[in-house]
């Protein structure tokens, strides 16, 4: 008879308070959205380790899916098992067995675990008619989909969900929100109907990460112009709670997305419309309600028309012969950049015609 050897391996999961709930989530779909350096990928790694401990075994397959294979390797395999998969990663080296060398040229990167499970690294790069074609397997226990908003086609997401559903598995994803991405429809909008037991969404930002020193955060905010030096010194650092004050004073859409994980498209959608007789203008910002949430629309009517009219005049001038007088035209924008509506222009032309 063969001898069964049992080995105890101590696994230390290092995380901060904001990550705990997501790591321990047993919901069919766990989604973590947040800014850069907020610890999103760490949640995915420890969530997957816990799922393997609970559901692994001989022949069990787990997936790490990246937006492309190179990112699946560098952010997934090398982070979990160390550079080139040779050790020193987040997971203890003792949990791996078999061949482990993984490079960016590896066609089917795979890590083999001591209980007979397999951790395969996949990509969700295909779109159109090929979307999801490579994400097919007889049975996948659980899966991570990293950088979800970098995945172009929702069909890739659908295929991953289908693969884990066969085994009663779950999917964890983490990403920074992106303007107009389908993840809003496939995850956030389904929470109200599916319920929190089916889909759990968590939010992290740069201040949630205790390993990110405040000094490094302030330097980053100054470098990318998130905050001016005066605002940082006078308003933020002088406040009893600098992180809370920083969250309140940062208004740049790109900074809100990159550092705090906010979907800035909801507060900067473009509004530009006019009919055939008059230009529809208003305040610079127009607030409307969409599904009970305020949405700020930026009125770009004036800017669009000004650009188009200026471009049209430039084209007409370029066609004139050298030395020839300028082609006759009527100014529709004066030196103060005021817009003349089509109705006013029509009335003016009629008045000029009557005078001649």
CA neighbor of 20 nearest in space, from 204, 164, 148, 194: 204
Whether pTM exceeds 0.75? no
The residues of the chain that CATH labels 3.40.50.300 are: 17-208
Most confident residue range from 7-11, 142-146, 315-319: 142-146
Residue 85 exposed, middle or buried by CB count within 10 Å (0-12, 13-18, 19+) = buried
Residue with tokens 């906010």: 262
Cβ neighbours of residue 272 under 8 Å, at least 6 residues apart? 299, 300, 301, 304
Which DSSP string do the residues of 153-179 spell out, in sequence order? -HHHHHHHHHHHHTTT--EEEEE---T
CA distance 157 to 131: 9
> Higher pLDDT residue, 261 or 70?
70
208-225: per-residue pLDDT in tens?
888 888 898 999 999 988
- On average, the pLDDT of the chain sits at 80
pLDDT of residue 319: 46
| Backbone angle region of 39, left / alpha / beta, with phi > 0 → left and psi within -120 to 50 → alpha | left
29-78: per-residue pLDDT in tens?
999 999 888 899 999 999 999 999 999 999 999 999 999 999 999 999 99
Is pLDDT at 267 greater than 70 in this prediction?
A: no
The band of 123, judged by pLDDT with boundaries at 50, 70 and 90, is very high
> Higher pLDDT residue, 354 or 119?
119
CB 332 within 8 A of CB 346: no
The band of 305, judged by pLDDT with boundaries at 50, 70 and 90, is low
CB 45 within 8 A of CB 176: no
Is pLDDT at 286 greater than 70 in this prediction?
A: no
pLDDT of residue 264: 56
Q: Of all helices (H) and strands (E), which one includes residue 194?
A: helix 189-194
pLDDT of residue 341: 57
CB 296 within 8 A of CB 268: yes
SS3 call for 121: strand
> Higher pLDDT residue, 33 or 297?
33
Superfamily the domain 17-208 falls into: P-loop containing nucleotide triphosphate hydrolases (3.40.50.300)
Lowest mean pLDDT, pick from 272-281, 290-299, 305-314: 272-281
CB 43 within 8 A of CB 22: yes
CA distance 174 to 32: 4
């Amino acid at each position: 008879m063969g001898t069964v050897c049992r080995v105890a391996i101590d696994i230390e999961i290092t995380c901060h308070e904001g990550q705990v709930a997501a790591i321990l989530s047993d919901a069919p779909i766990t989604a973590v959205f947040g800014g850069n350096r907020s610890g999103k990928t760490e949640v995915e790694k420890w969530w997957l380790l816990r799922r393997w401990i609970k559901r692994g075994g001989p022949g069990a397959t787990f997936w790490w899916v990246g937006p492309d294979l190179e990112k699946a390797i560098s952010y997934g395999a090398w982070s979990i098992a160390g550079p080139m998969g040779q050790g020193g990663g987040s997971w203890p080296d003792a949990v791996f067995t078999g061949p482990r060398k993984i490079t960016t040229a590896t066609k089917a990167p795979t890590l083999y675990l001591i209980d007979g499970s397999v951790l395969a690294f996949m990509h969700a790069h295909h779109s159109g008619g090929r979307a999801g074609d490579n994400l097919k397997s007889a049975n996948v226990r659980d899966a991570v989909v990293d950088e979800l908003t970098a995945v172009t086609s929702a069909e890739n997401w659908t295929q991953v969900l289908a693969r884990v559903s066969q085994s009663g598995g779950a999917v964890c994803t983490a990403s920074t929100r992106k303007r107009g991405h389908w993840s809003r429809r496939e995850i956030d909008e389904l929470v109200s109907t599916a319920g929190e037991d089916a889909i759990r969404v968590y939010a992290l930002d740069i201040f949630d990460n205790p390993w990110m020193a405040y000094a490094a955060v302030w330097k980053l905010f100054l470098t990318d112009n998130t905050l001016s030096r005066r605002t940082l010194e006078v308003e933020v650092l002088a406040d009893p709670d600098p992180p809370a004050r920083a969250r309140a004073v940062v208004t740049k859409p790109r900074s809100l997305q990159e550092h705090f994980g906010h979907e800035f498209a909801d507060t900067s959608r473009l509004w530009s419309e006019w009919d055939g007789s008059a230009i529809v203008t208003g305040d610079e910002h127009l607030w409307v309600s969409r599904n009970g949430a305020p949405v700020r629309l930026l009125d770009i009517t004036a800017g669009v028309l000004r650009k188009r009219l200026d471009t049209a005049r430039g084209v007409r001038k370029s066609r004139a012969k050298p030395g020839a007088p300028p082609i006759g035209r009527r100014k529709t924008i004066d030196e103060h950049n005021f817009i003349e509506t089509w109705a006013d222009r029509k009335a003016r032309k009629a008045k000029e015609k009557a005078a001649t």
